[in-house]
Structure 1
Amino acid sequence: MNNKALNVLEFDKIKAEIGKFLITSRGNTLLKKLMPMSVESIVQRLIDQTKDGMDIVRFKGEIPVRKLADLHDQANRLKKDGNLNGTELAAIGEVLKNTSELKEFFEKLKDDQIDLRQLYDLNEKLIDNPGLTTRITKSVDDTGRVLDTASDDLKYIREQISRLNSDIRSSMERYTRGKNTKYLTESIVTLRDDRFVVPVKTEYRAKFGGVVHDQSASGQTLYIEPEAVVGLNNRLHDSQTSEKLEEIRILNQLSDLVRPEIDDIVKNNEVLGEFDLINAKAKYANEIKGTEPLISDDHVVDLKDAKHPLIDPDRVIANDIKIGDDYKTMLITGPNTGGKTITMKTLGLIQAMAQAGLFIPAHEESQVAVFDEIFVDIGDEQSIEQNLSTFSSHMDNIINIMHKVSERSLVLIDELGAGTDPQEGAAIAIAILEKLSKSDCVIMATTHYPELKVYAYNTTDTINASMEFDEKSLKPTYRLMIGIPGSSNAFNIAARLGMDREVVDRGQSLMSGESQDLNNMIKDLENRRKEFEKKNEDLNAQLTHNKEIEDDYEKKRTELDNSKESEIQAAKVRANQIVSKSRKESDKIIDRLRKLEQAGVAVKEDQIISAKTGLKNLHQDEAVKKNKVLRRNKRKQQLKVGDEVKALTYGQIGTIVRKDKNNQYEVQLGILKMKFSEDDLEKTDAKPEESEKKPTMVRRTKSSGLSSKLDLRGKRYEEAMTELDQYIDSALLAGYNQVTIVHGFGTGVIRKGVTKYLQRNPRVKSFGYAPASSGGSGATIVDL
């Protein structure tokens, strides 16, 4: 895309804003190369990358990119068999460490199931080298200093240097303390030629002996290495030389390790630079509250609440800009300083930003097209060198545009035809628009010529637009009004500013009839627009009011339903508490009955079972039962003596024998007579004749899957006795004549308990141990 247009639109200022968020050298290089792209797939990929960056900024704060240097110099030296110093190797180490960090970072994003469009694939381009990363990290620090851990030899040498330094300082202390201080100009130990010395007064040189390394400018001080420490200094110097040689050996070794990997490391650095730029684009988008631009399938630009990104967001006016669908040419008219040029630049700059993969300062769901070129003719581009007038400069630029324009171009022209005779300017402007329109490009132009307003009104694919002007305040509102041409407002402004009315009227009378008709048309359109906006505001207000009423209704209905449900649940909880209390009381009564029975008083077992079952059936599930209709029908039925009924508790059919004074029904169930409440009985459809033919035996129902054998092995005594009691009752109701109780041998406690229970149960006819082939004394066969 041509740089001239981007310069006029101030695209470089957008790049400068993004640059504030960059931290890598490669990221800055990529930013300089950042340009709007004209291939839709590339534009979409760049937008997707920024979208991923925005998601990461929102969830994680940022992509963790380190401050990285450019590695091309290091790469060139290594390829020429040169070696690197510590600082250069530290820079390579930073790239390797950042590569490992990003690999781990994106793995965690995958674990967190964060969807990304492009950055997982970009991350795959990074080549991790954990072995080399660890070696460099162990050998040099961030500043390039070789670490003690780089080699055992280096560690030993540095420990030796530390000991020698300590010994030398200890030896030197006797010269800087006590009686020897009178021979010194200062009581300090300093360095000269990397050797420890003391500052001795010249006249006392013979007192110290040793080597003189330096003299003060005044000649009054000699820097002497005392003879007592010369040997230590020599050893220190040798150790320091060994240290430097070992450091060089380590750096050369590291250079040899990096050399075959340098191409991959440079590629990693470039990918990390891309991540840095994506990070910066996302942070910039966050700063301007940018949104993702959607690429239009129909080459339509539809910007909602678009703002110029370089104007203070608290002052800039947002506008809807739509072009390329029903019309491809928009002519904006209106007074000077009304915002025409800014609106045009907003369109051009937002398009450039979107095609460079940036988020745009517009409302969500805004659409952009992908243009192959943006041509701009904005401002006074008069060339002094070429001695061109303003008009000539514009014409030269427009001629160049006409030669290069295509159906996928966006053309922005400010003050079309200005700078010459108005009549001729209007004519040439219309001719230019007609020529450009033949290429089917998208055009936005500004003008003051009334002839162009008529042209736009009468030409297909062309629409008038204007910048709103407040006649009361005599100030522009900077609002773009599509479909309405602008009027000059010269007479209104003059009148409001105090111009003599006679002058204003005379000026209006001198206007041609065509101009008067055009102004009247514009005034009528403006009045209609305001009327439409007023009605639209009223409708929106009514819609909002209706929505509030609907929301209030839904809220109250929900509260009522919740209140009803809560009351029902609370009532059932209270009922269950009462039942629970009653059950505990009944258990006490049943325990007393059993104790009476053990004392020799006969108590019928079926009476105990019936009492417990009746109490259990009082409990209501807290979830609402689904058989309300069934229970309602049951309450309506009239039961009487002789009716065939079904005992719902046991699923058995029986006959009502009598009804006592407590409204309990006594029902004959085979050989048993049991009492039930009305809710526990359901009248059957069996006819009297059919019931008379039924055998007087309890029928086994389909729901009874009762086994003829009960196994009590491995159970505790109390559990076994309870299960035996319930089993014998169930066997009787199921119509079994004989059952087997398996109690095993064990200690004999359960076997004795079974025998004792069977002896006292009046429903047991007889019992005895099973045959040897069926378990012997480990099982008891019971006849009921």
Structure 2
Amino acid sequence: LRSLSETLHPHHEALLATYEGLVSVDLILARGRLSQELASMRGASRPVFHHEVRLEGLWHPLLGWVIDPEKIVRNPLVFGNQGRVLIVSGPNTGGKTVLLKSLGLAALMARAGFHLACAGEARLPFFSRVLSLIGDAQNLELSLSSFSGSVASLNETLRASGESTLVVIDEILHATDPDEASALSRSILLELAERGTFAMVTTHLNGLKVAEAGRFQNASMEFDAENLCPTYRLRLGIPGRSHAMEIAKRLGMPEGVVARARSFVSESHFRYEDALKAVEAKERELESARSALASEEAALQLRSTELRRRETELDSTKRIWKKKYEDDFSQRERAALQKIDSLADEMRRELSDVAARHAFSQTSRRIVQAAKDELHSVRTAADAAIPSPAPESGAASALRLGGKVWIKPMKSVGVLESDPSARDRPASVLVGSMKMRLEWHQLRPMEDATPAAAAPGSSGRRAAVPVEASVPEELNLIGRTTGDAESELSVFLDRASRSGRASVRIVHGHGTGALKRAVREYLKRCGYDVSFRAGGAGEGGDGCTVVEFL
């Protein structure tokens, strides 16, 4: 042994630290196991430190190993807001002391980090001290009677109590005169309340069964008067009767003795008992109402559960139908996309045709331009071969309405159809069957011009000429560019003016409006004497322009 001690002595600090660590681990495991055991008995709550005591479903943890956990009566213990001193009265063997110990044990377990034996919410202050006075304080060795021992213990309690202290006292000052004990107990409890101490006290003293606002709260343990047995249920806010006669009778006391004892009780005591009976009856009515309300709440809960189930089924049905409609919509969407693709293909084909027509229009434009160039060359050659007629001189050389005029740019002869005195507008000149608008400085009078010579055009209308059947009455420019449209329109008007037609129709459509504007702008500045308007009903409306030769 000495050798072993000498071997281990150099490691004693490490061994002690290991021992302490093992004890801590063992304590943690023990706390966890106790929590599991309490939870298996339908009552384990994590404590929350708060300014009041609220322990829902409080029970003594040792009862779980003594009786069936299903038979344990769990009580709501609430006090602190309306008074920090709770006075519990009621019959003997009614459970007051067990409830008192349950509170003290809960305070110690919360401080040590244990789960509490509560079936519901567990809130209470963090008590730095828990002081208990339970049992008879008689001590023969110290020559202390029950009363003197109780007073000595209460003195120590008063000296040690403070704001963060919990005091539990069982049967306060029960070993002396009831009236004096009531007065002294009330003074002691008031002192504890003024110090901010939480206290729970059990008593049979009627003088203490009076609540005091802000300091004392009352509670009692229920007693079944019909079956003459306690129910172990706590009733908050109601003082209780001791039921000493009924319990003594139940415990075997002779009926004669109990009856004689009743005759010794004062009238005031009977009145007090009757008042408490009335309060208990009212409490039973309220309890019955609470029970009925709880039943209704349970029924409503079942109804709510059923409604939630139906709501879930409805949501499921909605999802099914939604998926069905989404699938149907997807099919329709695919069909619509296929149709759009088909239309797009068709439009691409049409665009290809438009491109071909555009290429043809470009070719036609080049051919027309070549023909114009050729015509200009021919006219130039003809003008060079024919000498220009000499204009008249003197007063006879003035321009006259209906007189012949020489058109310098065209190097041709025409008939003047405008009054020479009104030169604020262009002159109207009839050249063959075509009427043109020219500037006055481009005109020169001819020698053989006489008023009678203007007869064919003096009426302001074109001379009637046969209509050339090969010239169509309509030109369709839809799909053309503005440049191509002007080229085709120029050729078409030239042919139409010489064909003898009174009017023609230019189809340009609506579109963006650019082609329509280009056509009508061109008609305003072309050299032909024409008027134009939008098509009327039956003529294509604003999608075409009707041109009339003047």
- Aligning the two structures, in what range does the TM-score lie when normalised by the shorter sequence? 0.5 to 0.7
Question: Does residue 1:522 correspond to 2:279, yes or no?
Answer: yes
Local SS of the residue matching 2:341: coil
Corresponding residue for residue 287 of structure 1:
37
Give the aligned residue type for 2:189: L
Q: Equivalents in 2 of 1:526, 1:484: separation in Å?
A: 8
Task: Kindly state the Cα deviation for residue 348 of structure 1 after the two structures are TM-superposed.
Answer: 0.3
Match 2:352 to one of 662, 665, 670: 670
* Residue in 1 that maps onto 2:25: 275
> C-alpha separation between the residues in 1 aligned to 2:114 and 2:123?
13
1:527 partner letter: R
1:318 shift after superposition: 1.4
| Candidates 233, 238, 252, aligned match of 1:484 | 238
Structure 1 residues 650 and 273 mapped into 2: Cα distance closer, same or farther (>3 Å)? farther
Alignment of 1:494-513 (within 5 A): 510-512=267-269
1:533 is the counterpart of 2:290: yes
| 2:75 is aligned with 1:334 | no
Instruction: List per-residue Cα deviations over 1:319-352 (Å, max 9, x = no partner).
Output: 1212323321111010000000000000001111
In the alignment, the residues of structure 2 paired with residue 390 and residue 543 of structure 1 have an alpha-carbon distance, to the nearest angstrom, of 56
Whole-angstrom CA distance in 2 between matches of 1:389 and 1:648: 109
Larger Rg: 2
The 3 A distance-change label for structure 1 pair 559 and 373 is same
Specify the alignment match of 1:764 in structure 2. none
Asked if 1:473 corresponds to 2:230, the answer is no
| Structure 2 CA distance for partners of 1:631 and 1:334, relative to 1, 3 Å | same
Work out the CA distance in 2 between the residues paired with 1:693 and 1:320: 95
**Gap change, CA 1:265 and 1:435, over 3 Å in 2:** closer
Q: 1:273 to 1:416 in 2, by over 3 A?
A: closer
User: 1:379: Cα distance to partner?
Assistant: 1.1
Residue-by-residue CA offset, 1:555-584 (whole Å, 9 max, x unaligned)? 432443465468x49xxxxxxxxxxxxxxx
Q: Deviation per CA, 1:156-182: give whole Å up to 9, x if none.
A: xxxxxxxxxxxxxxxxxxxxxxxxxxx
Q: Which residue of 2 aligns with 1:117?
A: none
Shift of 1:694: 8.2
Partners in 2 of 1:270 and 1:691 — Cα distance?
Answer: 103
**Relative to structure 2, which stretch is displaced further, 324-333 or 522-531?**
522-531
2:155 counterpart of 1:463:
no
Residues 520-578 of structure 1: CA distance to partner in whole angstroms, max 9, x if unpaired?
Answer: 55335423432442343233223223223213312432443465468x49xxxxxxxxx
Report Cα offsets for 1:632-677 as digits up to 9, x if no partner.
9x79xxxxxxxxxx95227837469xxxxxxxxxx846359xxxxx
> In 1, are the aligned partners of 2:50 and 2:123 still within 8 Å (CA)?
no
CA–CA separation in structure 2 for the residues paired with 1:491 and 1:266: 60
Q: Which amino acid is 1:526 matched to? A: E
Pick the aligned partner of 1:440 from 163, 186, 196: 196
Q: Residues of 1 paired with 2:139 and 2:168: CA distance?
A: 20
| Deviations, residues 667-695 of structure 1 (Å, cap 9, x unaligned) | 846359xxxxxxxxxxxxxxxx9974589
2:79 to 315, 318, 323: 323
Residue 560 (structure 1) aligns with: 317
Structure 1 residue 304 and structure 2 residue 60: aligned? no
The one-letter code sitting in structure 2 at the alignment partner of 1:511 is S
Change (3 A) 1:507 1:374: same
* Counterparts in 2 of 1:531 and 1:401: CA distance versus 1, 3 Å: same
Conserved 8 A contact 1:467-1:478: yes
**CA distance in 1 between partners of 2:270 and 2:104 (Å):** 37
In structure 1, C-alpha distance between the alignment counterparts of 2:246 and 2:15, rounded to whole Å:
70
Number of aligned positions between the proteins: 351
- Is 1:379 the counterpart of 2:149? The answer is no
Aligned residue identity for 1:378: I
Cα distance in 2 between the residues matched to 1:693 and 1:265 = 106
**Which residue does 1:549 correspond to in 2?**
306
Q: CA deviation at 1:386?
A: 1.9
Distance 1:369 1:508 in 2: 43
Task: Read off the aligned partner of 1:293 and give its amino acid letter.
Answer: R
Task: Name 2:441's counterpart in structure 1.
Answer: none
Tell me the TM-score normalised to structure 1 length: 0.39
Deviation at 1:313, TM superposition (A): 5.3
Residues in 1 aligned to 2:74 and 2:136: alpha-carbon distance in whole angstroms? 26
Is the partner of 2:31 in helix, strand or coil?
A: helix
Q: Which runs of 5+ in 1 are unaligned?
A: 1-72, 85-254, 570-622, 636-645, 657-666, 673-688, 696-784
- For 1:406 and 1:434, locate their aligned partners in 2 and report how far apart those are by CA, in whole Å: 13
Question: What do the CA deviations read for 1:697-731 (whole angstroms, capped 9, x no partner)?
Answer: xxxxxxxxxxxxxxxxxxxxxxxxxxxxxxxxxxx
Q: Which amino acid aligns with 2:171?
A: E
Is the 1:468–1:477 Cα contact (8 Å) retained in structure 2?
yes
Measure, in 2, the Cα distance between the counterparts of 1:464 and 1:76. 64
8 Å contact kept, 1:75–1:262: no
Spell out, residue by residue over 1:492-542, the C-alpha distance to the aligned partner (whole angstroms, 9 max, x if none): 779999969997996787335762564255335423432442343233223
Q: Secondary structure at the match of 2:268?
A: coil
Aligned-residue RMSD, C-alpha = 4.2
Q: Matched residues in 2 for 1:504 and 1:551: separation?
A: 62
**Paired residue type of 1:649:** D
Q: Deviations over 1:81-106 (max 9, x none)?
A: x446xxxxxxxxxxxxxxxxxxxxxx
Q: Structure 1 residues 630 and 691, CA, compared in 2 at 3 Å: closer, same or farther? A: farther
State TM-score, norm by structure 2: 0.55
Contact kept in structure 2, 1:332 and 1:446, CA below 8 Å = yes
C-alpha distance 650-523 of structure 1, shift in aligned 2 (>3 A): same
- Corresponding position of 1:250: none
CA separation in 2, counterparts of 1:317 and 1:690?
Answer: 102
Q: Distance in 2 between matches of 1:283 and 1:520?
A: 45
Aligned 8 A contact 1:295 1:370 in 2: no
Q: In the TM superposition, what is the alpha-carbon distance from 1:273 to its structure 2 partner? A: 3.4
Which whole-Å deviations, capped at 9, do the CAs of 1:200-221 have from their partners, x for residues lacking one? Answer: xxxxxxxxxxxxxxxxxxxxxx
Task: Check whether the contact 1:654–1:670 (CA below 8 A) recurs between aligned residues.
Answer: no
2:203 partner letter = T
**What is the aligned counterpart of 2:114 among 358, 377, 381?**
358
CA shift in 2, pair 1:517/1:476, >3 Å: closer
